[in-house]
Amino acid sequence: MQIATQPFSQAPAKHGVAADAAPRPANPDWTVEQGWEHYSAADHATWKTLFERQTRLLPGRACDAFLQGLRDLPIDAHQIPDFRRVNTALLRRTGWQLVAVPGLVPDAVFFGHLAERRFPAGNFIRSAGQLDYLEEPDVFHDVFGHVPMLMNPAMANFIQAYGQGGLRAQQLGQLAQLARVYWYTVEFGLLQQGHGLRIYGAGIVSSFSETRYALDDASPNRLRFCLERVMRTRYRIDDLQETYFVIHDLDELLALAQTDFAPLYARVAGQPDYQPSDVLPTDTVFHRGTRAYQAARAASTTRAG
């Protein structure tokens, strides 16, 4: 996945492919100290602003597992969480822990950590002037967005399996296809809960604009998740998504974690990609997007440029 440059006034917090430009840190696994003592009052204030505006939006939008995970963690508005305290709760619940990294790390390093149930989390926080714009995943995206779901056993197993599968996919030249599965689930997934849709994806739940857009806006497609279809679907890294895929419940991730991807890579290889906006005759459609948001964006870009 890609963090790239985001017009993040619109877009969510996300992630990137290899961190080629970053200087190689002293540790071969790229970990650093969180350095919790070094956060400034302004850093904690930024966290508070982000935390409060997100938690106001989440009841009725985030799935129950996310809200429960958040309640069970020592994470609140007052200060940037101390990874040591978070890890006590997380280790006890699902055997996961956070490790601090300075930003994006190379794919292989990222997968190596996930395979060992270590989630690399940025130790820095975005600046107060860029609350909605992120080039690399920071501590708010990584901790607020991802850690509540890591308290859930299905998600805990799925992300570990992604780490294990990532190294294999790289060797097979199929990483792009696997990364799409992560993107459309862990980062931008929706699920069915009762009669409605709810958010479980970290990229949505950590983004002020996308939290409402993903569920309430008429623009994007909301389609039933289908593994092979998703493996062939490109995604946007620099703007709000054009399509969200919906799973029945988190147990569907458990099944995904146990899936052998090798035959799927073989089938998908050589078949054309789908565009982020495509709706196929074979899709189960919860909502067909109007694309109004994308049309307005295109119009304003044309006028400006």
Shortest Å distance, C-beta 275 to ligand HBI: 20
Q: What amino acid is encoded at 294 in this protein?
A: Q
Which range binds ligand HBI by CB under 6 A, 15-23, 67-75, 191-199, 286-294? Answer: 15-23
The distance of closest approach from Cβ of residue 219 to ligand HBI in the complex, given in angstroms and rounded to an integer, is: 25
Which residue type occupies 136? E
Q: Is 198 an interacting residue with respect to ligand HBI (CB under 6 A)?
A: no
Q: Which partner, Fe ion, ligand HBI, none, binds residue 202 by CB below 5 to 8 Å per kind?
A: Fe ion
Contact string 49-88 vs ligand HBI (x = CB under 6 A):
----------------------------------------
Q: Under the criterion CB under 6 A, does residue 179 sit at the interface with ligand HBI?
A: yes
List the one residue from 4, 17, 89, 254 that touches ligand HBI (CB under 6 A).
17
**In sequence order, what DSSP letters do the residues of 236-248 get, joined into one string?**
-SSS--SEEEEES
Distance separating alpha carbons of residues 98 and 150, to the nearest angstrom? 10
227: contact with ligand HBI by CB under 6 A: no
Instruction: Decide if residue 182 touches ligand HBI (CB under 6 A).
Output: yes
Residues in the chain: 305
139 binds, among ligand HBI, Fe ion, none (CB under 5 to 8 A by kind): none
285-287 and 221-224 as β-strands: parallel, antiparallel, unpaired?
antiparallel
Alpha helices in the chain, H assignment, sequence order: 41-57, 64-71, 83-94, 107-115, 139, 147-150, 153-172, 175-182, 202-205, 208-216, 227-231, 251-257, 262-268, 292-304
Helix axes 41-57, 208-216, angle to 10 degrees: 10
Taking the C-alpha atoms of residue 65 and residue 71, their distance in angstroms, rounded to an integer, is 10
Stretch that binds ligand HBI, among 70-78, 99-107, 124-132, 277-285 (CB under 6 A): 99-107
Q: Which residues bind ligand HBI (CB under 6 A)?
A: 1, 15-17, 101, 104-105, 107, 110, 120, 137, 179, 182
